[in-house]
């Protein structure tokens, strides 16, 4: 029998995949650079930390981790179903909303299938598509770095299996309004899977922000994805959820590991959901930070894009990422998106925001 190498055996589309590049842990980076006391404004985490009620719930639940978790996430499902006014069966939980994207690809994407999404946007869209052998179809944002919905619609072909709208969009912070969104969805083929990634929806401030959940009722081939990683401050627990038509939810459920949401994660998410005060405090801090940072960045002559999220895209000049990092301020470089003069900065606490501005000023004055 002829021996085949691993390289010959691995699925070609998987071998060709460019893996997701997460930011380095802060400790590792400090060791490499020989610095300390740095701040991380790179991953859109909540600067207030987790909700104290979530932490207490996780601590209480820890004594029970010899048990398997509730595979149906009954308590969290019931709470969210009441909150969002959807049937319990319309909810699908994931190990972060990242896993929901994988469940979508697993259920709907194979070789020859196309997935249409805007670009620059969330790096996981091409990764999950290629992971299942599908073809990513990135559609450039418009000149204002906003989703070009007519162009997205025009990219849909007979081979399109999924269209994704990230609203508000990561890494630009920009959003589309209800009128444009509704017009776009109305014109979509009825049974084409529409995924609306609303990871930052709780931060959105524009008054005409689209009601994507309402579309789930009117158009069952719609999945709205949300997460506990951002405003709820639980990125390390890994809880995301999707709201979909019941039939679609059932297909996604079939691909889900029975215990994908661990016991601590469910307990923490449930407590965070009920801590409305923490969410409001996070919203307030973020809105104030966004306004102040925008003003200060603009005063430094940096272009800033309007944001409906907890981060800002700003054009500060090439080399900013490294210069800030040397001063212990870690942000996200945008060179990989073809924006070498831009950085994405998470809106932090007032002290963190001040350090960012100071470091930027120091760098610019030294040039």
Ligand X SMILES: *Cc1c(COP(=O)(O)O)cnc(C)c1O
Residues that bind ligand X (CB under 6 A): 96-98, 122, 166, 170, 197, 199, 227, 229-230, 235, 240
For the CB of residue 131, give the shortest distance to ligand X in the complex, in Å.
15
Looking at beta carbons only, is 168 or 245 nearer to ligand X?
168
Q: Classify 250 as helix, strand or coil.
A: helix
CB of 241 or CB of 363, closer to ligand X: 241
User: Of 96 and 131, which has the nearer Cβ to ligand X?
Assistant: 96
Least distance from ligand X to the Cβ atom of residue 109, Å: 17
- Please, which residue, 337 or 363, has the CB nearer to ligand X? 337
Dihedral angle sign, alpha carbons of residues 156, 185, 146, 248: negative
CB-based closest residue to ligand X: 96
| C-alpha Rg value of the chain to the nearest Å | 21
Residues 132 and 71: their CA atoms lie apart, in Å, by 25
Q: How far is the CB of 41 from ligand X (least distance, A)?
A: 14
Closest C-alpha to 356, from 296, 274, 273, 275: 296
C-beta of 351: minimal distance to ligand X in Å? 24
Calculate the CA dihedral of residues 220, 223, 224, 229 and round it to 10 degrees. 150
Least distance from ligand X to the Cβ atom of residue 117, Å: 11
Quick check: bond before 77 cis, omega within 30?
no
Closer residue to ligand X, CB minimum distance, 166 or 347: 166
The total of other beta-carbon atoms located within 10 Å of residue 366's CB is: 7
CB 56 within 8 A of CB 271: yes
């Amino acid at each position: 029998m002829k021996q085949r190498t691993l390289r010959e055996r691995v699925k070609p589309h998987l071998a060709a995949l460019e893996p997701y590049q997460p930011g380095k842990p802060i400790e590792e980076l400090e060791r490499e650079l020989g610095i300390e006391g740095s701040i991380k404004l790179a991953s859109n985490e909540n600067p207030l930390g987790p909700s104290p009620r979530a932490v207490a719930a996780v601590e209480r639940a820890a004594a029970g981790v010899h048990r398997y978790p509730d595979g149906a996430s009954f308590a969290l499902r019931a709470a969210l179903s009441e909150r969002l006014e959807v049937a319990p069966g319309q909810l699908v939980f994931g190990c972060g909303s990242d896993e929901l994207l994988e469940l979508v690809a697993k259920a709907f994407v194979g070789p020859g299938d196309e997935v249409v999404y805007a670009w620059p946007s969330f790096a996981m869209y091409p990764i999950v598509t290629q992971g299942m052998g599908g073809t990513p179809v990135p559609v450039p944002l418009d000149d204002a770095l906003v989703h070009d919905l007519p162009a997205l619609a025009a990219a849909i072909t007979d081979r399109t299996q999924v269209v994704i709208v990230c609203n508000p969009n990561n890494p630009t912070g920009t959003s589309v309004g209800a009128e444009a969104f509704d017009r776009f969805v109305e014109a979509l083929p009825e049974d084409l899977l529409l995924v609306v990634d609303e990871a930052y929806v709780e931060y959105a401030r524009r008054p005409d922000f689209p009601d994507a959940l309402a579309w789930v009722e009117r158009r069952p081939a719609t999945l709205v994805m949300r997460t506990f990683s951002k405003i709820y401050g639980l990125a390390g627990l890994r809880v995301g959820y999707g709201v979909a038509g019941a039939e679609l939810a059932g297909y996604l459920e079939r691909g889900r590991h029975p215990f994908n949401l661990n016991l601590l994660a469910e307990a923490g998410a449930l407590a965070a959901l009920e801590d409305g005060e923490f969410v409001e405090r996070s919203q307030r801090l973020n809105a104030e930070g966004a306004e102040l940072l925008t003003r200060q960045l603009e005063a430094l002559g940096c272009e800033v894009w309007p944001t409906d999220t907890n981060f800002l895209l700003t054009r500060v000049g090439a080399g900013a990422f490294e210069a800030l990092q040397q001063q212990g301020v870690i942000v996200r470089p945008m060179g990989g998106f073809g924006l070498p003069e831009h950085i994405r900065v998470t809106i932090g606490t007032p002290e963190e925001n001040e350090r960012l501005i100071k470091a930027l000023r120091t760098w610019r004055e030294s040039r």
